[in-house]
Structures are given as C-alpha cells and as structure tokens.
Amino acid sequence: MNILEISHIEKSFGNIPVLKDISLSVSDGEILSIIGPSGSGKSTLLRCATMLETLDKGEVRYQGNRAVWADNGGNVQFAPKKELKEIQRLYGLVFQNFNLFPHYSVMKNIIDAPVHVQKRKKEEAAKEARELLKKMGLEDKADAYPCQLSGGQCQRVAIARALALNPKILFFDEPTSALDPELTGEVLKVIRSLADLKIAMVIVTHEMAFARDISDKVIFMADGVIVEEGTPEQVFASGNERTQAFLGRYGDILK
Amino acid sequence: MGISQIQQLIGGMGVSIQIFTVTLVFSLPLGLIVAFGRMAKNPALQNLVKAYISIMRGTPLMLQLMVVYFGPFYLFGIKIGNSYRLWAVFIGFTINYAAYFAEIYRSGIQSMPAGQYEAAQILGYSKSQTFFKIILPQVIKRILPALTNEIITLVKDTSLAFTLSVMEMFTVAKALAAKGTMAPLLAAGIFYYVFNLLVAVVMEKAEKKLDYYR
Ligand SMILES: Nc1ncnc2c1ncn2[C@@H]1O[C@H](COP(=O)(O)OP(=O)(O)O)[C@@H](O)[C@H]1O
Ligand SMILES: [Mg+2]
C-alpha cells in the first residue's frame, strides 16, 4: 500500500508559483530521494506534505486517507480533527537545522512527545529512547543539552526524537546541509542504518552518492516541477538535458 | 525617632511590600493575556488592546491612579469609601504594569524562531502544550533582563500610592519628615534601596538558574 500519495499539488507564495502540479507516491518502507537545485521547491513540497504549509490545489493522502485537499471550489479542506491527529502520527520530519528544544535534555527531547502526546509510560519511553540513542551512537549523551552537542550529534538526536514516535514515514529536509563536511558522514551513516527499520523515507539531499546508494526511487525537481523520476540508475544516467546539467556539478562524486 | 514613628514606618513598609506583591502576582499573568490580545488575529481586539497599552504607557501612573479612584464616583455616581483607596492602588498598578509586561512578553514571543513551533507541531503537541512547554519557558529566559528592569521600577513606583494617601512607606516618611526630621526620609531611601538589591539578587539567581542552556 502507499503510505503517501501526493496528487497534483500546487503552491504559490504571493503570485509566485513554487509547486506546479506535483504528484508522487511512496509505498511502505520505500526510500525516495528528492534532488534538485535550491529554490526548486523541495522544502515547500515537504512542508505541504507535512502540513506546515497549506497547499493551494491538489491533495495529500496518507494510507489512502485524505489529509488535506482543495475542493472543486478551490477551498482547502482538512480531514476532521480526530482523523487528522491519527494521520499526523504517521509521519515525522527531520529539519535542516534540527529544531531541538534547547531547554530540554537530550533524553527529554526524545521522550517528551511520546509521554505527553502519545500518553505512553515514561519508563517505557525512556527505555526505548536509550535504545535509540545507542543506535545513534549517543548513549552517553542522554543528560546533555543540545547546546553541548556538535551539529552532527544534534541532528542524530533530532532523528531519534522523530523515531521515538514510531512514524511510518519520515521526511528529511537536507539533514546534513547545516553541518560541517566532516560531520555529514556520521549523520548519513545513521540514516542508512534506518533502512532496515522498514520505515518509508523521503529525503531531500544534495549528497548525490548517498541518494544513489540508499534510494529505491529518485526524483529530480527543478522550478517547481518533477523533471524526472525513476530508479537511481535511471535518473543518474539520464539523458535529460536539465538533469544532466544539474548532475554535472556533482560529476566526480558519482564516478 | 520614637517608637511610634518607627512603628508607623514599619507599617508603611508593609503596605509598600503589599502593593508590590499584589501588583506582580496579578499583572504578570494579566500581562500574558494582554500580550495574546495584542497579537490576536482579530483586528478589532488587536486595536483595542493596542489603545489600552498605548494609554497605560503614555499617561502618568499617578493620573491613572486618580482615575481609578475617583472614576467610579464621577462616572457612575458610586459613593467611594475610604477602604477603596488601597484597592484603587492595586487595580491601578496592576492594569498599568500588565501593559508594560505585555509588551515584554510580546517581544519575547515574537523573537522565538518559527522552527520551535514547527517542530512541536510535527511532534503532535497541542497549541497549549506548545506554548506552555516549549515556547514560554524559553521566552521567560529571554525576557528576564527586561522583567528585572520593570520590577525594579515597580519597587520605586509603589511610592506613587501617596497620590491616594495610602499609608505606604513614602507617604508615611513624608508625613513624619514634615514634623522636622530627615531621618524618616533616610529610612525610606534605605528601604527602597535594599528592596531593590534584593530584587536584583533574586533575578540574578533566576538568570543563573536558566543559564544551563542557550
Ligand atoms: N514562506 C515563503 N514565503 C515566500 N516565498 C517562499 C517561502 N518559502 C519558500 N519561498 C520561495 O519558494 C521557492 C522555493 O523554495 P524552497 O521550497 O525552499 O526550495 P528548495 O527547498 O528546493 O531550495 C524559493 O524561491 C523561495 O524563495
Ligand atoms: Mg530547502
């Protein structure tokens, strides 16, 4: 089944169209990478899918259920409150600049939502959090505060925080773009390790080799449209002029 | 100074501390509500609150106290008793300080990065959870220095209650000094100074306590 289906969404800021008729789907456990030049609308697409932004046209479905859509009159509708809450439990988002809660310790950052949003037992949530931290290579950082961590460590905490809510699909918006080059590796390694969790992932990234290696499917976006979509082999070997022009900048990495 | 004068001064001190405490206890939460009104999407509410804040900040507190005290009589013909004096001071100070605190809260709230709200939304926090668990604690850390300034001003402003002849520290000291000695005024000066030292120490402690994160 498709965990996520985006159909014909459009989004403008003022009168500048940023997303022009975007459709895509992600099946359970599938890993989709979205690449493309900056300003092409990748973040906006993720933000519309996660309802941080409200689309102008089209619809977004999770597990077949409509979360947000524009009706025939062009009015945007959301699923009823209760249903929407259920839908929101299905996805998580990892931000470029982490957005950890600075006043909470690493442990509290991870368990606070499971405990206070999902109403799970604190001990149980803490136990899971420690396992997640171990997976992230941060078992000794539970009591640290975000300001005491490096960017790479913060991003790994942010990933743990998202995973703690057991999402079925996790969005990443350039998870390594705010990091010093020597720190990107540790975060990419962690994301790779998630592949066996069977969580679907949608990853916006400029790390081409990573996208090629990890993805089931790659989308190349430019100027608010999907220029090309296919397996990594198809997209990275594409004959499409725009795709080639974009990938050319990364030529050496992909050899 | 005789025993009875010292007793009077101590009584005045008590009233000053009472005005200070009551004002803080009510204006700090009220200020938050006013800040919400000031940031409301509804333009009518927003403008109403804007006007209120503007008047509170743009006119002397002394005058506001008199309006609160005499208003009920001149506006509605309600007979005002002597016991209303202190209440008028409480009300006047609270609505005045709420306006100042509201602007401090607002600047703090608006300085919060959108990412904190977005992360909370994605994690499923409700609006009130987001505000009280994520936003407000960080806002308090940010506005603590501005709050300290305002609270120190409040300590000194309590002396304005003399306008309504409420027997607080300054009113008492002034009355006693009129009988020909500087000592009560000196005592009052020391009182305000020590009170403010105390405020500064407490606020510094609070800032230190929130120093554990950036
Ligand atoms: N909130 C906003 N208001 C106005 N314009 C925006 C906003 N967010 C994004 N944009 C514009 O939309 C375009 C696409 O942005 P974005 O989705 O961030 O692209 P990408 O993530 O691919 O770099 C850019 O031109 C950007 O300036
Ligand atoms: Mg972006």
pLDDT digits (tens, 9 = 90+) for A142-169: 999 999 999 999 999 999 999 999 999 9
Instruction: Name the B residues in 116-145 with CB < 8 Å from any A CB.
Output: 116, 118-119, 121-125, 129, 133-134, 137-138, 141
Q: DSSP state, B167? A: -
- Residue showing tokens 């006043």: A103
Task: Tell me the average pLDDT across A35-51.
Answer: 97
**What pLDDT does residue B82 have?**
81
| Residue minimizing CA distance to atom 18 of ligand 1 | A43
pLDDT digits (tens, 9 = 90+) for B12-39: 999 999 999 999 999 999 999 999 999 9
Q: Is the pLDDT score of A250 beyond 90?
A: no
pLDDT digits (tens, 9 = 90+) for A56-83: 999 999 999 999 999 988 899 999 999 9
pLDDT digits (tens, 9 = 90+) for B140-189: 999 999 999 999 999 999 999 999 988 988 999 999 988 888 889 999 99
| Chain-chain contact of B119 with A113 (C-beta, under 8 angstroms) | no
The one-letter amino acid at B176? L
**What pLDDT does residue B3 have?**
86
Kindly report the average pLDDT of chain B as a whole number.
Answer: 94
- Cβ-Cβ contacts under 8 Å, A118 against chain B: 124
How far is ligand 1, taken at its centre, from the CA of residue A245, in Å?
A: 22
Q: Is the pLDDT score of A97 beyond 90?
A: yes
Q: Which of A53, A112, A198, A175 is nearest to B123 (CA)?
A: A112
Q: Is the pLDDT score of A255 beyond 80?
A: no
**What pLDDT does residue B78 have?**
81
B211: tokens are 């120093």
**What pLDDT does residue B40 have?**
96
Domains, in order of start, for chain B: 3-209 (1.10.3720.10)
The one-letter amino acid at A221? M
Q: Do B169 and B17 meet the contact criterion of CB atoms below 8 Å apart?
A: no
| CB contact set of A178 (below 8 Å; sequence gap of 6+) | A96, A97, A98, A151, A155
pLDDT digits (tens, 9 = 90+) for A106-146: 999 999 999 999 999 999 999 999 999 999 999 999 999 99
d(CA A252, CA A208): 10
pLDDT digits (tens, 9 = 90+) for A187-230: 999 999 998 888 999 999 999 999 999 999 999 999 999 999 99
Q: Do B27 and B94 meet the contact criterion of CB atoms below 8 Å apart?
A: yes
Kindly report the average pLDDT of chain A as a whole number.
Answer: 95
Strand runs labelled E in A132-233:
169-173, 200-204, 217-222, 225-230
**What pLDDT does residue A12 have?**
97
**What pLDDT does residue B193 have?**
96
| CB contact set of A25 (below 8 Å; sequence gap of 6+) | A2, A4, A5, A6
Q: Do A86 and A69 meet the contact criterion of CB atoms below 8 Å apart?
A: no
Q: How many CA atoms lie within 13 A of B110 on its CB side?
A: 11
Sheet holding A200-204, edge to edge: A91-94, A169-173, A200-204, A31-35, A217-222, A225-230
> Which of A52, A83, A103, A166 is the best substitution to test chain B (most B C-beta atoms within 10 A)?
A103
Q: Is the pLDDT score of B5 beyond 70?
A: yes
Q: Largest alpha-carbon pair distance within chain B?
A: 70
Q: Is the pLDDT score of B79 beyond 90?
A: no
Q: How far, CA to CA in Å, does B42 sit from each of A53, B6, B49, B99?
A: 21, 54, 11, 19
Q: What interface predicted TM-score (ipTM) does this complex get?
A: 0.95
| Chain-chain contact of A89 with B124 (C-beta, under 8 angstroms) | yes
| Chain-chain contact of A102 with B118 (C-beta, under 8 angstroms) | no
